[in-house]
Amino acid sequence: FTLDVGMLPPSNKELEQGKATLMCVANKGFPSDWSLSWKTSDSSGSSSIRGEESRTPGVLQNDGLYSWSSTLTLTEDQWGKVGSVTCEATQGSQTLVSEILRRDQCSQS
């Protein structure tokens, strides 16, 4: 069983509007009761930043496996303080996959 987790950073256009939406997508999961959760910490790693999360339930794909997505919306101010964002896939008590996005990887040159 593999769970592919990928994250998309916010777009420049959106940042110009004063917000940042990150999307986390997980594919090829089974069974359907996995959930995606976010952990966001500031650049010092000492405090967490709370954004607005929205999740979609698992969607059954043609291959019999499920896919999920979750978005995290931050204000531009919050995004400016972010050091790293982690998207984790969990089922019950186990956490299998986490994808970490460092903010310095997202900055557009």
Measured distance CA(83)–CA(14) in Å, rounded: 19
Measured distance CA(71)–CA(22) in Å, rounded: 6
For residue 42, what are the β-bridge partners? 82
Geometric angle at alpha carbon 15, from 20 and 41, rounded to 5°: 40
Mean pLDDT across the stretch 34-43? 90
User: What pLDDT score does 109 carry?
Assistant: 38
The domain made up of 4-104 is a member of CATH 3.30.930.10: no
- Residue predicted with more confidence, 77 or 105: 77
User: What pLDDT score does 107 carry?
Assistant: 55
Give the pLDDT confidence of 62-85 residue by residue, as tens digits.
999 999 999 999 999 999 999 989
Give the pLDDT confidence of 40-60 residue by residue, as tens digits.
998 887 788 899 999 998 999
Reading the block at residue 3, the tokens are: 């769970």
The answer to whether the beta carbons of residues 29 and 66 sit under 8 Å apart is yes
Mean pLDDT across the stretch 6-33? 91
Which pLDDT band, with edges at 50, 70 and 90, does 105 fall under? low
* Residue spans per domain, the chain: 4-104
Mean pLDDT across the stretch 28-47? 88
Convert 75-107 into a string of H (helix), E (strand) and C (coil): EHHHHHHEEEEEEEEEECCEEEEEEEEEHHHCC
The answer to whether the beta carbons of residues 55 and 22 sit under 8 Å apart is no
